[in-house]
């Protein structure tokens, strides 16, 4: 049981690091000057990887909590709230991008500004959750 917990903990840490790096990549994509079609293609690829890292982080977190018999500490509750908030922000950002690209609703540059803000909020959430988890562990 301890081996499974330690492996999940290592994978969880690497998933969070990958999630932060993918967020930084997407933030950089938002700041680069590019055509709409090029931006959408690059952003779509980055969003797939980011969503995979979110799922990996959530899965390894669930495995770690199950290995510790669902011990709900303050840090665990903050992590659960944080990952749910990140999932909601990603879903909203994806929906806005689809409306801008597919249905031509809204301005593309407005989306870039809103998407950038969502990503910054996600990054701040990750840093806050990491600080709380670091203080608790």
| Residue 136: band (very low, low, confident or very high) from pLDDT cuts 50, 70, 90 | low
Q: How far apart are CA 74 and CA 22, in angstroms?
A: 27
Closest of 85, 82, 13, 83 to residue 54, by C-alpha: 83
Question: pTM score, two decimals?
Answer: 0.87
* pLDDT, average across residues 54-75: 87
State the Cα–Cα distance between residues 137 and 78, nearest whole angstrom.
13
- Write down the pLDDT at residue 104: 74
Bigger pLDDT: 38 or 1?
38
**Chain mean position to CA 118:** 10
Q: What is the mean pLDDT of residues 60-79?
A: 85
Contact 67, 4 (CB under 8 A): yes
Helices 36-67, 2-31: crossing angle, 10 deg rounding: 160
């Amino acid at each position: 049981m301890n081996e499974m917990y330690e492996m999940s903990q290592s994978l969880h840490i690497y998933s969070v690091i990958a999630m932060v790096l993918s967020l930084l990549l997407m933030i950089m994509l938002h700041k680069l000057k590019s055509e709409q079609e090029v931006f959408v293609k690059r952003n779509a690829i980055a969003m797939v990887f980011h969503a995979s890292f979110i799922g990996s982080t959530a899965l390894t977190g669930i495995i770690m909590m199950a290995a510790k018999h669902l011990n709900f500490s303050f840090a665990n509750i903050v992590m659960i709230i944080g990952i749910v908030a990140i999932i909601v922000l990603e879903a909203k950002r994806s929906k806005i991008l689809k409306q801008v690209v597919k249905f031509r609703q809204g301005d593309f540059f407005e989306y870039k500004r809103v998407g950038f803000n969502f990503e910054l909020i996600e990054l701040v959430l990750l840093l806050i959750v990491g600080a709380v988890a670091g203080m608790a562990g």
